[in-house]
Structure 1
């Protein structure tokens, strides 16, 4: 029997078959230690050689960048839209501590560890490495946030933290990439500081304007019964991408704009925003599948080629000490038991945001040590997908029994 001829259609059919098979077995898979990220990372890795042989590297890079941008804009807007300012002030003391205290401590400790392990790359690359590996992804431990064994306050904390930290870490990622790029020999640094400042300042301004304006317009349309309920998902896309594109036009950072727009939209819009959650459960999950597939097919093999012991040690430290120590410190005085602090510290899996930030920053900037960064991110996300995936169910039962 001859070997399979891997055409574009053949690969696409195999990927769609994997998506359909996963959909058929969703409930059965949920009872195992296997997760969506594990499945599609493996599918991607198995398709790595055929995919690489199908197109020129430039075309693949453009495809990766487009997928990363679309997914990140939707994730940032969607996550931020579900955060309520009143609730944060009243009952979200624990996630606020983790975000306001724990996140900067994690970046600072991560930067120190990255620099100590690889001092020749410089402080800017250490900052970039720490920043892209700080945001967490609740999807990698979905069992934890959906398990009835885990107390509601802990589930809520993990959801809120993972929903907000990817947006809050964006300025650190941006500054790290800009500073590292500026350190390249022959790099043009004229106006770099001004450009960076404009991105961080104009992004939120555009996000506020678009989030507030679109929310008011939609409220007006719904109050006058002009808008069909089914149009909510389309409107969500329009708001998110308008904020992104509008910010890019005036020199702001589109991702920061999308995140701020989502937060303002969610707190301004007077009607139910269930259409955002419904959209992300469908199309959003499909984009997540493809993001992990791209990770397995294009990032992981390249990262493994440049893997060093430094990258492995760094990955292990970022998943343990660099994450858990700052979280433990941020939760001192909250009244949480040690086991609960350790549980929250451990379930800071690295996934979608780290992948997307790395793809976009490597495509947008040239900086020294790109391959080392890719190796560190690849190993951290790979270990996180496996370790957090298989530990989610047993640790959920353990914390349920312990509390």
Structure 2
């Protein structure tokens, strides 16, 4: 990266920060702005950022961001509150998410079956299943949206990326077996090691590391700044140890964050602070990289079937899965529509798509990657532009009701921290 480009990126970040207070009152979201900025830097336009998506720098930034996103997302989830107060996100994750993957797989077979094998179609559906609440931040931060609904979307977004990762690894292993790139026993052992050892290492690192940091804080052996660094270091520690023993480092980072957040919550405040600053910057850089290095190359190979699949997975797969998962909860139709629409695809799908390119032996990787790119592109703008007016519309729909036990949407709930609060 040359000095001129570095200066341009730095000036854009500074300039965007200076007017961020004005922008947050509009329908423009930070991910939209950074995708557009990335597009301007790309070779077809200004040509200032001319790196291949497989470049080592891109891989390092992407992997580091994914580790921290999985770790910090999981650390925000209070499992006791989830079991006690949050029947809706449990349904969205336990019923809606599998249904979204199943429906996405069926749609991929129907629309892309000529270019993807069955397990590749399942892997694509899994890549596009995790939601990213940051793309429609007004929805999960607006006081007009009932706390039960906005927190359900927040919790769902915090957990589904980590849940989808082992499923994706299993599907990719099955795809590799079907395409003859390894024996069935090899891929079975590989998937088992990845999915089993990763959580074991993650739980161990999260529990032991959290206890050590807590003890150090209690004895006042550690400064606040190094408390922050130590907690963040646990995510990298979990990743590295899991990779060394043959597990999946990303799954380990997710499990470490989930364990830390529920066994040592008092030291997790620094993670929320990190998410408001450094974490936000990393995620926005991923959107810039996405716009500059992924969009135009992918659009060269996109056809109408991929676009149709992108629209279908954002609407049919998501909305039907949500509608079925909330049967019996007596939610109003506009609540179901609101929950179904606001399942944007963002940084998790981008990062999982990059994992596809790093793998060997997946013949449909280019089709999968291009479809992911066009789906995220549609989602960034469609969900970004509709988040603010959508939150206002839904708020008006619910404003006519008073909080009673007869209105499930208005029942009181305890709040959990929100990822990346663009809007305050």
TM-score bucket (shorter structure) = over 0.9
CA drift of 1:187 comes to 4.8
Aligned match of 2:401: none
Write out per-residue CA displacement over residues 251-287 of structure 1, whole angstroms, 9 at most, x where no aligned residue.
Answer: 0011110001101011111524211000111110110
Check whether the contact 1:65–1:360 (CA below 8 A) recurs between aligned residues. Answer: no
Q: 1:343 aligns with which of 320, 335, 338?
A: 338
Q: CA RMSD in A?
A: 1.7
Aligned match of 2:5: 11
1:137 aligns with 2:137: no
Aligned match of 1:370: 365
**Secondary structure of 1:376's match?**
helix
Check whether the contact 1:292–1:352 (CA below 8 A) recurs between aligned residues. Answer: yes
1:99 aligns with 2:103: no
1:44 aligns with 2:58: no
Q: 2:266, 2:82 → 1: CA distance?
A: 20
The change in CA–CA distance for 1:321 and 1:309 in structure 2 (over 3 A counts) is same
Which segment is superposed worse, 209-218 or 114-123? 114-123
| 1:289-308 equivalence runs, <5 A | 289-308=284-303
CA drift of 1:366 comes to 3.3
Larger % of helix: which?
Answer: 1
Aligned match of 1:25: 19
CA drift of 1:128 comes to 0.8
| 1:220-231 equivalence runs, <5 A | 220-231=215-226
CA drift of 1:61 comes to 2.2
1:183 aligns with 2:181: no
Aligned match of 2:355: 360
Q: 2:79 aligns with which of 82, 85, 106?
A: 85
1:34 aligns with 2:28: yes
The normalised TM-score by structure 1 is: 0.95
Check whether the contact 2:205–2:238 (CA below 8 A) recurs between aligned residues. Answer: yes
Q: 2:63, 2:188 → 1: CA distance?
A: 24
Aligned match of 2:404: none
**Secondary structure of 2:55's match?**
helix
**Secondary structure of 1:169's match?**
helix
Which consecutive aligned stretches of 4+ in structure 1 deviate over 6 angstroms post-superposition?
Answer: 50-56
| 1:64-75 equivalence runs, <5 A | 64-75=58-69
CA drift of 1:365 comes to 3.0
CA drift of 1:186 comes to 5.2
CA drift of 1:159 comes to 0.5
Structure 2 unpaired stretches of 5+: 399-424
Q: 1:270, 1:400 → 2: CA distance?
A: 32
Q: 1:164 aligns with which of 126, 137, 159?
A: 159
Structure 1 unpaired stretches of 5+: 1-6
Aligned match of 2:374: 379
CA drift of 1:209 comes to 0.5
The change in CA–CA distance for 1:394 and 1:98 in structure 2 (over 3 A counts) is same
Aligned match of 1:4: none
Aligned match of 1:61: 55
Check whether the contact 2:213–2:231 (CA below 8 A) recurs between aligned residues. Answer: no
Q: 1:333, 1:146 → 2: CA distance?
A: 27
